[in-house]
């Protein structure tokens, strides 16, 4: 589930990565909004959907990330898609992408859906098979990092750090440094964030004027993800150099949103 959260967090902040992943990097992502959408009266939720602007004719993209074996995944995935289309009376074209860390995790496609999976409306992707394409952008490199073993993860992280350092000063550089640190914290759970920054020389990025001037609101946006990864509010406040009250308020707001969804 942590892989899922990190994947969706990456798409939320850098939607262009999704279109690179499916081989359509030329699509203008500003015309899309990435959301987790509740299906009314069903107690179901589509974890990832790229919703196009109303005045465009662009298709809808549904995203399903499956980090562990689940024989009911395709039943649930297609049910959610068609319920969404019915409830929203959508007349748009649509495409669905199922993402797996590796091919072995995928369940057998149920016979009623085989024709759909074999159509051009469905794409199945395996992160460990990205190959050289993972070197084409920071976003794809981040995705590949999610499934690398420890030795390769260190090599890829160092390569990504070098790429981040080559960016022109911008808020994106700080955001990417934050995201990379979060992924590394997941990959190396026995190491603290301070140890990770020292291990991979991320401190060079964090000590930059740009990073120091990053808005507190930007840091608070990472609180829900860090809570989901198992960090305490005290640990998050310490690592992000935030006031404990601010972190507790962010955690309380998250809990309120989950209660509303239930």
Let me know if residue 212 belongs to a domain. Answer: no
Q: How many domains does the chain have?
A: 1
**What does the pLDDT profile of the chain (262 residues) look like in tens digits?**
466 778 888 888 788 888 888 888 778 777 888 888 887 767 777 878 999 888 788 899 999 988 889 999 999 999 999 999 999 888 889 999 999 989 999 999 999 999 999 998 999 999 888 887 887 788 888 888 888 887 788 888 888 888 887 776 666 677 778 788 778 877 777 776 667 766 666 766 665 544 454 445 566 777 777 887 778 888 888 877 788 888 888 887 766 654 443 4
Q: What is the CATH number of the domain that holds 60?
A: 3.40.1350
CB 14 within 8 A of CB 143: no
142-148: long-range contacts (C-beta < 8 A, 24 or more apart)? 142/10, 142/17, 142/176, 142/179, 142/180, 142/183, 143/7, 143/10, 143/17, 143/21, 145/180, 145/183, 145/187, 146/3, 146/6, 146/7, 146/101, 146/183, 146/186, 146/187, 147/3, 147/101, 147/102, 148/187
Domain extent for 78: 1-131
Q: What is the pLDDT of residue 194?
A: 66
The model's pTM is: 0.70
Let me know if residue 231 belongs to a domain. Answer: no
Q: From residue 5, how far is each of 16, 71, 81, 106, 246 by CA, in Å?
A: 17, 21, 20, 18, 22
Let me know if residue 36 belongs to a domain. Answer: yes
Contacts of 87 (CB under 8 A, 6+ apart): 39, 40
Q: What is the pLDDT of residue 186?
A: 76
Let me know if residue 40 belongs to a domain. Answer: yes
Q: What is the pLDDT of residue 213?
A: 46
Q: What is the pLDDT of residue 27?
A: 80
């Amino acid at each position: 589930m942590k892989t899922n959260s990190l994947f969706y967090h990456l798409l939320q902040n850098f939607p262009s990565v999704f279109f690179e992943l499916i081989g359509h990097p030329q699509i203008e992502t500003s015309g899309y909004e990435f959301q987790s959408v509740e299906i009314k009266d069903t107690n179901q939720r589509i974890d990832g959907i790229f919703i196009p602007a109303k005045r465009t004719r662009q298709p809808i993209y549904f995203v399903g990330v499956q980090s562990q074996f689940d024989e009911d995944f395709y039943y649930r995935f297609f049910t959610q898609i068609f319920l969404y289309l019915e409830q929203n009376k959508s007349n748009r074209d649509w495409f669905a992408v199922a993402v797996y860390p590796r091919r072995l995790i995928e369940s057998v496609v149920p016979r009623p859906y085989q024709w759909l999976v074999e159509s051009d409306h469905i794409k199945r992707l395996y992160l460990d098979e990205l190959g050289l394409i993972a070197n084409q952008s920071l976003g794809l490199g981040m995705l590949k990092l999610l499934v690398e073993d420890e030795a390769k993860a260190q090599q890829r992280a160092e390569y990504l750090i070098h790429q981040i350092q080559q960016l022109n000063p911008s808020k994106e550089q700080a955001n990417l440094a934050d995201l990379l640190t979060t992924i590394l914290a997941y990959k190396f759970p026995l190491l603290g964030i301070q140890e990770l920054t020292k291990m991979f020389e991320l401190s060079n990025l964090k000590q930059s004027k740009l990073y120091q001037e990053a808005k507190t609101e930007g840091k608070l946006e990472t609180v829900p993800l860090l809570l989901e990864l198992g960090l305490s509010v005290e640990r998050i406040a310490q690592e992000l150099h935030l006031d404990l009250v601010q972190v507790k308020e962010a955690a309380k707001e998250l809990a309120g949103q989950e209660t509303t969804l239930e």
